[in-house]
Amino acid sequence: MSVGARLAGVRFSVPSKILTNADLEKMVDTTDDWIRTRTGIERRHVLSEGESATDIGMAAAQQLFSDGKIDKSSIDALIVATATPEMLFPSTACILTHKLGLNGVPAFDFSAACSGFLYGLSIAKSYIESGTFRSILLVCVEALSRIVDWKDRNTCVLFGDGAGAAVITATEDDRRIRSILIGADGQYQEYLYVPLGGTIAMSGRDVFQVACRKMTEAATQALADAHLTIDDIDLVIPHQANTRIILQVAKQLRIPEDKLFVNIQSYGNTSAASIPIAYREAELAGRVKPGANLLFVAFGGGFTWGSAVLKV
């Protein structure tokens, strides 16, 4: 069997500070019921004063090394998916090489908004299958609380901060990324964007319509490319943006409820970090078994989208 790319381990970290819907009721004109009904979110984690996105990104990555699952010396490259970098340069990835003791390892950031984890898997898969690298650390980290308008009740209730870290390694068995699809279309940019120095602006209805269509199309194509159907999938882990989007995509793909993993209620939308956070929680809950077929699907500002089928 040819060399493929395997998702070898995933961990996550979130800030200790929790912002509940009750807290938001004191900050903006909203209610717990309004937020739950429209988004499914109950609480989210946000960075405290003096805490940085790099801090939680480092914490997520360190877990992979500290529990003995991954040998740090095996890492050939570090890539970071983020829409909220610490600074324009150096990159968050470059900073993390030093903090993690990976000095000299090639590192770079990229941004695909909420599709960042899937774009990162695609990049890692390409590097590994080409023989360029054999082990890649992918860190997805977002500090969305720093770019939210806390006076805009339509957007401030949606987002949380978090980080997910994954190691993708070379493999010659069938436990690998079987197919992956990514795409983008800038014609929709006015529906969801953050101007330089500004805060998140969004047209929720337009995002919903395009997100449901593109996520359904991407997942359908990824399944076809893997020569599988939804019946062959053991668990579907979508980007945790909004329960209405998740349930509509599940309906269109005919995904049974027992095959769907949702944890948006505890974290809100953590953008690129949401799928790795959900994956690890599903794993801890015993819903990710060795040899299982998984489907990931995401959609983000740009617009960007992606889907992947993998055997773990």
Q: Quote the percentage of the chain above a pLDDT of 90.
A: 91
Of the candidates 45, 140, 239, 242, the residue annotated as catalytic is 239
- Residue 161 pLDDT class (50, 70, 90 cuts): very high
Judged against a pLDDT cut of 90, whether residue 141 lies above it is answered with yes
- Residue 74 pLDDT class (50, 70, 90 cuts): very high
Residue-wise pLDDT for 108-131, tens only, equals 999 999 999 999 999 999 999 999
d(CA 32, CA 37): 8
Judged against a pLDDT cut of 90, whether residue 67 lies above it is answered with no
Judged against a pLDDT cut of 80, whether residue 10 lies above it is answered with yes
Residue-wise pLDDT for 14-28, tens only, equals 999 999 999 999 999
d(CA 260, CA 6): 22
pLDDT for 163: 98
Name the fold adopted by 177-311. Peroxisomal Thiolase; Chain A, domain 1 (3.40.47)
Total-model pTM:
0.96
- What number is the average pLDDT over the span 151-172? 95
Of the candidates 114, 140, 156, 212, the residue annotated as catalytic is 114
pLDDT for 199: 93
Is 45 noted as a catalytic residue in this protein?
Answer: no
Domain 4-171 top-level CATH class:
alpha beta
Residue-wise pLDDT for 189-225, tens only, equals 999 989 999 999 898 889 999 999 999 999 999 999 9
pLDDT for 164: 98
Alpha-carbon distances of 300 from 57, 182, 186, 270, 310, rounded to whole Å: 20, 11, 11, 11, 21
Judged against a pLDDT cut of 80, whether residue 1 lies above it is answered with no
Tokens of 156: 């401030």
d(CA 147, CA 158): 12
Asked if 163 contacts 12 with a C-beta cutoff of 8 angstroms, the reply is yes
- What number is the average pLDDT over the span 87-95? 95
Is 156 noted as a catalytic residue in this protein?
Answer: no
Domain borders along the chain are 4-171, 177-311
Tokens of 272: 């690129």
Q: Which residues pair with 309 in a beta bridge?
A: 179, 295
Q: Any idea of the CA torsion for 286, 125, 163, 13, to the nearest 10 degrees?
A: 40
For residue 217, count other CB atoms closer than 10 A to its CB. Answer: 16
Q: Which residues pair with 183 in a beta bridge?
A: 305
- What number is the average pLDDT over the span 39-57? 95
pLDDT for 276: 98
* Dihedral pair phi/psi, residue 221, rounded to 5°: -70, -40
Asked if 75 contacts 106 with a C-beta cutoff of 8 angstroms, the reply is no
Is 98 noted as a catalytic residue in this protein?
Answer: no
Closest by alpha carbon to 112, among 279, 299, 285? 299
d(CA 253, CA 163): 28
